[in-house]
Amino acid sequence: RMLGYWPNPGSGLDEEGYVHTGDVVRVDDRGYFYIVDRTKDMANISGYKVYTRELDDLLYTHPATEMAAAVGVPDHERPGSERVAIFIQLRPEYRGKVKEEKFIEYLREKVAKYAVPKYVRFLDNMPLTEVQKVNKKYLRENAKELLGLP
């Protein structure tokens, strides 16, 4: 049980004693917790929750992937819903040799139908945060432009 943030016991707790971290976790049958995603990175696809971190992890298993990020982008055909977009920085030896469709096929075999990406974009340089993590916030905020959407 978390007691609060050091050095102030009780800080950060709500009225019921919970801390809201923004993490999405799962618990296995032995009681171990696993961080699955961040709530801000979760995509809402027609009411289904897609944990983009799981898609990221799968994309990193593809041999052509150097860096990858999946994000939810607004679905203009279904207001309030999103579609999955993936951004990939290819390894140098794969640039110009692999097509976007290959990544859709790759994920189609591994994820639920609603989680299959609608959009794929190869980037020469993945945007990074100051601590060199993929900047998903930038990708979400600039997805329309990066994907060439109306």
For residues 119 and 8, which has the higher predicted lDDT (pLDDT)?
Answer: 119
State the CATH number of the domain containing residue 115: 3.30.300.30
Residue 2 belongs to some domain of the structure: no
Angle between helices 52-59 and 100-108 (to 10 degrees): 110
- The answer to whether residue 33 sits within a structural domain is no
Q: How many domains does the chain have?
A: 1
100 touches 65 (CB < 8 A): no
Name the residue range of residue 56's domain.
42-147
Name the average pLDDT for the chain: 92
Q: Indicate whether 122 belongs to any domain.
A: yes
In this predicted structure, the answer to whether residue 40 has a pLDDT above a threshold of 90 is no
- With a pLDDT cut of 70, the percent of the chain lying above it is 99
SS3 category, 60: coil
- Residue 35's pLDDT is 83
Nearest-angstrom CA–CA distance, 45 and 58: 19
User: Are 88 and 63 contacting, i.e. CB atoms less than 8 angstroms apart?
Assistant: no
Specify the pLDDT at position 39. 79
Looking at the whole model, is its pTM more than 0.85?
A: no
